[in-house]
Structure 1
Amino acid sequence: MFAARATGLVKLAGLCLMAGVLVAALLFPVVGGLGLASNRAADTVDQTSGELTKAELPLVTTVLDMNKQPIAYLYDQYRIPVPSEGIADTMKAAIIAIEDKRFFEHKGVDWQGIARAAAKAGVEGETSQGASTLTQQYVKNYLAFVVGKGEKEAYAKATEATIGRKISEARIATQLEQKMTKDEILTGYLNIVPFGNGTYGVGAAAKTYFGTTPDKLTVPQAAMLAGLVNEPSRLNPGAAVEPAIKRRNTVIDKMRENGAFGADPKVAEEKAAEYKAEGIGVVPDLKLLPNGCVGAGDGPVYGFFCRYLIDYLEKAGLSADELKRGGYTIHTTMDPVATRLAKQAAEDQVPKTQDGIANAMAIVEPGAEKHRVRALAANRDFGNNAEAGQSAYPLPSEVTKFGTGSTYKVFTAAAALEAGVARLDKQIDTPATYTSRIYKGDRGGYTVKNANTGYKDKMTLTEALATSPNTGFVILEEQVGLDKVVDMASRLGLRESMNGVTTKGEPVKPGERSQGETIKAENRGSFTLGVGPTSILELANVAATIMSAGKWCPPTPVEGVTDRNGRPVALKEAPCDQAVAPEVANALANGLGADTKTGGTAAGAAGRAGWDRPMIGKTGTTEDHWSVAFMGATAHYAGAVMTFTDGVAPQVICNSTPPRLCGNAPGTTGVFGGSVAAPTWFNAMKPLHEGKDPTPLPPVDPRYR
């Protein structure tokens, strides 16, 4: 007993000292003798109180698809701000009763409350009464969760038990009371304070715990929420039901004492008993708002698009931190129908749980002013559980570490057409084996052979694009010049793949060569065979560039961004440019129009899908069969698919149903682009084109025919 009283007396002395210092600090801006405040500190107080009167709280950013339906949410703090009239009187009464019953009487600092706390500390050894007003708590929460972003260090600083902090807090609170009405302060507090489970503010709390809006909160609901602000983790009603109910009932008793249930004591007591008899009342499954790209979309199917969107916006001037706090509305280009079709087609060819094999697809809409990304999907789901068939890598949009094989022959053909070295109907040499004296091999010259026998020694460029003889394109590459072919790949769309990564697929560091630079410097004739790292999205955009009469535009996932006030936000997006002359692009499109016809490497896949539309197409298979690809396009959609090993140790992908890994033993028969990547493309694109006119390929200038 004596120890308790002694402790109480110590706390009493401390409270008395604090009260005296607070009074001095409030009356005199500079307390030089104590070193507790300064003119600079006063300036900071003025600035903070000013900021609080027009505080912009961290808000949720909403991501919408092309139909303006939400597909993802990005936030640090789940908050739904509401005006005063949108908050029930029950909620206001509950928070005042439990946190600051003299709220409408004091001017920011409750001197009577401090005195009462001091007296109670002296008698009972407690300091729980009247220590901090709602106005002071508003200041503290602003510094912790708005200025400090809720980070541990900032929270600790905003809540540290020092006289200096209390002085600053009290001075800001006093100034705030002169600049804002009581109702404005109360509303601000209820919009900023945390309620647990990642929710901040009464708007999000009402929806999370009760599936309602704050203007409809009942007394038991409001009391439970008011009780949460004391210790939201310990009193979590989703897990700790009994402690939450006990705290709620304490709030109800305080509301009764504060006259919230009327002046008649008997009636008030009966109402309080009725309210306390109710159950916890929270929804069975707390309505927590999904956060981030993992799990985005039903299924989920939108995660890869969401991840690309964030990466794109960061390069365009909106950082991830801004997105999580700014309350933006992002109108995207994502087509949910195209995305689901691509996802289904990818999984049909390679099940999501198939060990070590990814199957990813990107769909871009061609256009002269914009190349809209309509779908980014894969057999994997976007997530961190590999055993469940998930991947945290942005498979369709990143530069993979694998090549796309013969799809790169498109760049050689384009460079040859532009340079006048080749024409669509002019024959090129396609011998069974060819040794280049220009490019270097392991033992002198670079020797290449065709993938199989049966090729003619000569064929037209159109035939070569459809049947893909290796030798013919190495010879064309020699005639045009390797540098021009590499540059063509970048111009048509492989800009990050050529200039942003090394030959190992790693981001280029200062002093390192990019993939394109290395290929040129080392005179790698194998470039036309597509052995280097490639982005599937960029490959789809190559097809979009060709079908846009040679106009390259960045593959954009964004239609527009508006801020929390509905104002447009300017983005730093790369402008479109004319990659090649329209005549060259149109000629190339016609040259690529035979791949799905009889004899073409994608003819079988097209036939099985019942494809009957004009289109461009090109399959690709790497020599080691670690990856295969298909790119194709119509006037309506361009797309690319890549099937590749995504395990720790790359292996040959065997040509089985479904494809499987089968080691790297010599002679192992691997999969081809026409047997898995092309079917994925056609199975997604066939239904996506339903109802659209079968637009013919553009006419060819006779100079290129």
Structure 2
Amino acid sequence: MGYAKATWRVLVVAFLISVTLGTAAWGAPLARVEDLPHLMQLPIFQPGAPSLLYDDAGKVLGPIVPEYRIVLPLSRIPLKLRQAVIAAEDARFYEHGALDLKGIARATVRNIMSASVREGGSTITQQLAKTLFLTHERTIGRKVKELQLASELEQAYTKDQILGMYLNCIYFGHGAYGIEAAARTYFSKSVTELTLSETALLAGLPRAPGRYSPLIDIKRAKARRKYVLDRMVATGAIKQAQASRANLTPISVNPMFRSKGIAPWFVEYVRQQLEGRLGQIVVRHGELKIYTTLNADMQRAAVKAISRGIAAIVQRKNERKEGGSVAPEGALIALDARTGEIKALVGGSDYSRSQFNRAVQARRQPGSAFKPLVYAAAFERGLSPRTILDDAPISFEIGTGHRSEAWAPENLDHRYRGPVTLRRALEESINVPTVRLISTIGIDPVIDLARRLGITSELRREYAMALGVSEVGLLELASAYQAFANRGSLSPPFAVRRVVGPGEIVLEEQFPQPQQVVREEIAFLLTSVLEGVVQRGTGRAAKRIGRPVAAKTGTSQAAEDLWFLGYTPSIVAGVWLGYDQHRSIGSHETAGKIAAPIWTDFMRQSLGDSPVEAFLPPEGVFPIFANQKTGQPTSSTDPEAIVEYVIQGQEEVLPSDVVLPITNASSPDVSGKEVLPPTPSR
């Protein structure tokens, strides 16, 4: 059996070597390198100009991936660093030509023995040829060209020159090309200042920067560092004692991040989206023009609002970002209410400290910000804002058999109000009536509506779902609100309008894809109630923008997550605040006190002096005067009268002094500004 295995391995090795040699033999001269550039011209090679991002006005935002290159002559690169790279990538670099047959055989055997790809067979010269002149496609033709170009390089340059070009050109991850750029990117120091541990870590990166980066996976980075140190011992570059000490040294990165402009989380979001569809090489180096949906002014407003809001929390709680306790984080996203275009996106407080995109990637409890979906589902089942619910103690049996227990929802203020209208229950964010409501209409209608609104996160099938215990993302919840703002028409959010390649070839183009997921009259009823949240309820801080606004606060259990989502007829925006560590912001903190002012700050900056738009009822919905406590129709002389809306056919015949005339004419807003009807959807 052992003989058979050994024979099989030898045959595999022989086959691979023969394929390599055969390919080189029969491959005609498909490519030649005529008049290769001078040594110091090669390191500034770019495999295609970087792709550029543009905002919604057609102005350049910047490259999709900032490239960082610093060229050093080989004489300024420390010997130990050169030895580390050679040990890791091509131990016999100074002994072979363009192709290392022994290295290929050795790597193949070790890979077979370990049942994994632990070593590569490409020489440093081959890697340089591929980096300088070829794409990363995996074809026989590309391999033939690589071997031919490597041979040309070996004939035209000395080994030291080839190594110098390699160390200045190879990619080390996070936009860093060349060893000096890598040293500054990961450790904020020059190559002459690197320790042996840092030297080994950097030398191990070219094989797979995305896999071995200490900024991505510290465990893999440590394992790769150990491999390089072991190889340096094997090649005689260092002693075992030196390797052992270096291997025990904690990896301490001090990254020097290069700015991605005003919208780093947005740029990274776009990059990930496009690379998933077009591929990494095309997106990064295809000289693309990427026209995005981002509005630069709104983005700046979002950054300022989040920054000022978090600073206020830190100051009030006497917390520091560096040292002391960990500071809270925040996120903000804004959508065009009619198209779903992403207009602003902030994923955290400081991109240089954390690239985690809390606006897109995080899943947190929305608290009462989820309640509008419950009430909209109730409206779909024939209930109205005037329907009465009982705000009184209630309990439910949770579970079955000996595992069952009683659950009694409570209101935030621990008091009960008796009979209340659906409108008041949502405006004041009262928990107990909301739980009664979902127990009346059922859980399934709420989940069904959530799915229609684009929420894909897992929803807990329990009455507590009505209180926002299921974790969702800020982007998906903001998208759901977009449908309410757009009269029940959902336009899935998107960030890229058009991608244009060289020669002005359009590679990709996106348009709004509206779909009516909620009836217009239902969406308007909910919007009307959410306007009341701002006028009389928990979202009063948003009144300061001085125009019609519909919004909802959300405070999760123990105040770990604070949300504020709201909209005008033109913009939908959502704000989240909390700690990454799932700790309370404060037992007495609420979304209305903390998140709402940030949202208001952003909206005031974004809307500026733009025309004020009103939410107008669709056909079949008409306004009446109703008593805000009882929900009963009343006259304008009633001191408790508010404007309520009813759907034609669902209400009894009402007295003439109760029904208000519907007009599309402009009307004065509380701010004194002229109020215009909403702009028609595109």
* TM-score for both structures, normalised by structure 1: 0.56
- Which of the residues 662, 681, 687 maps onto 2:599? 681
- 2:677 maps to none
**Preserved contact between residue 332 and residue 557 of structure 1 (Cα < 8 Å):** yes
- 2:553 maps to 619
Deviation for aligned residue 1:559 = 1.5
- 2:609 maps to 691
Report the residue type matching 1:68 in the other structure. G
**Preserved contact between residue 438 and residue 478 of structure 1 (Cα < 8 Å):** no
Could you report, residue by residue, the CA deviation over 1:378-430 in whole angstroms, capped at 9, with x for unpaired residues?
551213xxxxxx22201112132x2110011111011111122x212x23314
Report the residue type matching 1:397 in the other structure. V
Is 1:472 aligned to 2:414, yes or no? no
1:174-323, aligned counterparts within 5 Å? 295-298=258-261, 301-315=262-276, 317-323=277-283
1:137-148, aligned counterparts within 5 Å? 142-147=129-134
What is the CA–CA distance in structure 2 between the aligned matches of 1:444 and 1:695, rounded to whole Å? Answer: 50
What is the CA–CA distance in structure 2 between the aligned matches of 1:672 and 1:310, rounded to whole Å? Answer: 35
- Which of the residues 448, 451, 465 maps onto 1:490? 451
CA gap of 1:632–1:37, structure 2 versus 1, over 3 A, is closer
Report the residue type matching 1:612 in the other structure. G
Is 1:44 aligned to 2:7, yes or no? no
Deviation for aligned residue 1:671 = 1.2
User: Any idea what SS the aligned residue of 2:435 has?
Assistant: helix
Is 1:601 aligned to 2:570, yes or no? no
**Preserved contact between residue 144 and residue 158 of structure 1 (Cα < 8 Å):** no
Is 1:394 aligned to 2:357, yes or no? yes
Is 1:412 aligned to 2:361, yes or no? no
Could you report, residue by residue, the CA deviation over 1:453-512 in whole angstroms, capped at 9, with x for unpaired residues?
5553222222222101111111111222212212222322323xx2xxxxxxxxxxxxxx
- 1:577 maps to 515
Deviation for aligned residue 1:59 = 3.3
**Preserved contact between residue 310 and residue 349 of structure 2 (Cα < 8 Å):** no
**Preserved contact between residue 435 and residue 448 of structure 1 (Cα < 8 Å):** yes
What is the CA–CA distance in structure 2 between the aligned matches of 1:579 and 1:543, rounded to whole Å? Answer: 12
Could you report, residue by residue, the CA deviation over 1:167-216 in whole angstroms, capped at 9, with x for unpaired residues?
9846999xxxxxxxxxxxxxxxxxxx96986699xxxxxxx9xxxxxxxx
**Preserved contact between residue 343 and residue 379 of structure 1 (Cα < 8 Å):** no
Is 1:365 aligned to 2:326, yes or no? no
What is the CA–CA distance in structure 2 between the aligned matches of 1:303 and 1:157, rounded to whole Å? Answer: 40
What is the CA–CA distance in structure 1 between the aligned matches of 2:31 and 2:360, rounded to whole Å? Answer: 43
What is the CA–CA distance in structure 1 between the aligned matches of 2:131 and 2:302, rounded to whole Å? Answer: 44
What is the CA–CA distance in structure 1 between the aligned matches of 2:280 and 2:168, rounded to whole Å? Answer: 22
- 2:391 maps to 431
Deviation for aligned residue 1:67 = 2.7
Is 1:450 aligned to 2:411, yes or no? yes
**Preserved contact between residue 411 and residue 489 of structure 1 (Cα < 8 Å):** yes
**Preserved contact between residue 564 and residue 599 of structure 2 (Cα < 8 Å):** yes
- 2:503 maps to 565
CA gap of 1:487–1:43, structure 2 versus 1, over 3 A, is farther
CA gap of 1:76–1:404, structure 2 versus 1, over 3 A, is closer
CA gap of 1:362–1:75, structure 2 versus 1, over 3 A, is closer
- Which of the residues 330, 338, 345 maps onto 1:376? 345
User: Any idea what SS the aligned residue of 2:358 has?
Assistant: coil
Report the residue type matching 1:306 in the other structure. V
**Preserved contact between residue 60 and residue 78 of structure 1 (Cα < 8 Å):** no
What is the CA–CA distance in structure 1 between the aligned matches of 2:181 and 2:496, rounded to whole Å? Answer: 38
Deviation for aligned residue 1:321 = 4.2
**Preserved contact between residue 196 and residue 233 of structure 1 (Cα < 8 Å):** no
Is 1:340 aligned to 2:300, yes or no? yes
Report the residue type matching 2:396 in the other structure. S
What is the CA–CA distance in structure 1 between the aligned matches of 2:19 and 2:280, rounded to whole Å? Answer: 38
**Preserved contact between residue 59 and residue 77 of structure 1 (Cα < 8 Å):** no
**Amino-acid identity (%):** 21
- 1:629 maps to 563
User: Any idea what SS the aligned residue of 1:145 has?
Assistant: helix
- Which of the residues 525, 530, 548 maps onto 2:468? 530
Q: Which moved more, 1:568-577 or 1:627-636?
A: 568-577
CA gap of 1:333–1:48, structure 2 versus 1, over 3 A, is same
Q: CA RMSD in A?
A: 4.6
- 1:459 maps to 420
CA gap of 1:339–1:197, structure 2 versus 1, over 3 A, is farther
Report the residue type matching 1:693 in the other structure. P
CA gap of 1:613–1:144, structure 2 versus 1, over 3 A, is closer
Structure showing greater radius of gyration is 1
Deviation for aligned residue 1:554 = 1.9
User: Any idea what SS the aligned residue of 2:342 has?
Assistant: strand
Could you report, residue by residue, the CA deviation over 1:99-132 in whole angstroms, capped at 9, with x for unpaired residues?
xxxxxxxxxxxxxxxxxxxxxxxxxxxxxxxxxx
CA gap of 1:630–1:694, structure 2 versus 1, over 3 A, is same
**Preserved contact between residue 485 and residue 567 of structure 2 (Cα < 8 Å):** yes
Is 1:553 aligned to 2:491, yes or no? yes
Report the residue type matching 1:45 in the other structure. A
- 1:506 maps to none
What is the CA–CA distance in structure 2 between the aligned matches of 1:327 and 1:148, rounded to whole Å? Answer: 14
**Preserved contact between residue 58 and residue 77 of structure 1 (Cα < 8 Å):** no
**Preserved contact between residue 348 and residue 357 of structure 2 (Cα < 8 Å):** no
Structure 1 stretches of 5 or more lacking a match?
1-33, 80-136, 160-164, 174-192, 201-207, 209-227, 242-291, 384-389, 499-514, 655-668
User: Any idea what SS the aligned residue of 1:640 has?
Assistant: strand
Q: How many residues align?
A: 452
**Preserved contact between residue 139 and residue 172 of structure 1 (Cα < 8 Å):** no
What is the CA–CA distance in structure 2 between the aligned matches of 1:330 and 1:534, rounded to whole Å? Answer: 29
CA gap of 1:194–1:156, structure 2 versus 1, over 3 A, is farther
Report the residue type matching 2:130 in the other structure. L
- 1:653 maps to 585
CA gap of 1:459–1:43, structure 2 versus 1, over 3 A, is farther
What is the CA–CA distance in structure 2 between the aligned matches of 1:589 and 1:334, rounded to whole Å? Answer: 26
Deviation for aligned residue 1:673 = 0.8
What is the CA–CA distance in structure 2 between the aligned matches of 1:199 and 1:691, rounded to whole Å? Answer: 51
Report the residue type matching 2:365 in the other structure. G
**Preserved contact between residue 398 and residue 404 of structure 2 (Cα < 8 Å):** no
Report the residue type matching 2:583 in the other structure. Q
Deviation for aligned residue 1:691 = 1.9
- 2:247 maps to none
Could you report, residue by residue, the CA deviation over 1:500-528 in whole angstroms, capped at 9, with x for unpaired residues?
xxxxxxxxxxxxxxx23xx23xxx21111
User: Any idea what SS the aligned residue of 2:445 has?
Assistant: helix
What is the CA–CA distance in structure 1 between the aligned matches of 2:181 and 2:422, rounded to whole Å? Answer: 70
- 2:575 maps to 641
1:13-92, aligned counterparts within 5 Å? 41=24, 44-48=27-31, 57-75=47-65
**Preserved contact between residue 59 and residue 326 of structure 1 (Cα < 8 Å):** yes
Deviation for aligned residue 1:653 = 0.9
Deviation for aligned residue 1:444 = 3.0
- 2:629 maps to none
Deviation for aligned residue 1:623 = 2.0
Report the residue type matching 2:369 in the other structure. T
Deviation for aligned residue 1:372 = 0.7
